[in-house]
Amino acid sequence: MAWTTQTPPTDAVTVLNAAYMNAFEANLLSLRNGNDHYVRLYLSGNPSIANNTNTAVSWTDEAFPQVGTIWSAANPSRLTAPVTGKYLVLATAEWRTNTANLRSINITRSAGGSGQYDLQSQGASGGRSICNAKLIVSLTAAQFLTVRVFQSSGGALTLHGGAPDRTRVSVLFLGV
């Protein structure tokens, strides 16, 4: 829809009718670029991550239906840019209880990008430990990101999944 001119109310007692409000809403919606892309993913299970192994997270579930085509169950560890522009990425890895050594999360960009973004968190003394990554990154169409986790507890360690508020990632297209 194209922008339509509306006659504004002329006094304080004029009641806005439904036709006016519908046209106003349509005008606002027409200002959007129609290029929305976002997804929020999580793990339905609790995968075991081997000691001293940088492991790509294979996402299993959408917290709500995605808009656009950032993620596909056919290639569950890739978060692919459908269009060129800037993206906000928020990732969290929640680890089951273990206090030994390091846990980390990193976000890696595919070929053509300028490297890797590492964010690390030391294991907590008791209870679970949580690693977070937050960044804005420029991607060209078809470039992809992977969220990778690492731990050095001395044995396999479990990522805490099973709900949208545990191990998760969100990707939002911000624009060009």
Domain with 99 in it: what CATH number? 2.60.120.40
- Number of domains comprising the chain: 1
- What are the residue ranges of helices labelled H in the chain? 18-31
Does 19 fall in a domain? no
Is-contact 87 109, C-beta < 8 A?
Answer: no
- The secondary structure of 105-125 as a DSSP string is EEEEE-TTS--EEEEEEEPPS
Other CB atoms within 10 Å distance of the CB of residue 170: 18
Whether residue 22 is contained in a domain is answered as no
- Domain of 52 in residue numbering reads as 38-175
Q: What is the pLDDT of residue 168?
A: 95
Q: Is residue 152 assigned to a domain? A: yes
Q: What is the pLDDT of residues 125-146, one digit of tens each?
A: 555 788 888 888 899 999 999 9
Quickly count helices (H) and strands (E) in the chain: 1, 12
Establish if 18 belongs to a structural domain: no
Choice between 72 and 125, residue whose per-residue pLDDT is larger: 72
Classified as helix, coil or strand, 54 is: coil
Residue 8 counted as domain residue:
no
Is the residue at 11 inside a domain? no
The structure tokens 């509306």 sit at 6
What's residue 69's pLDDT? 92
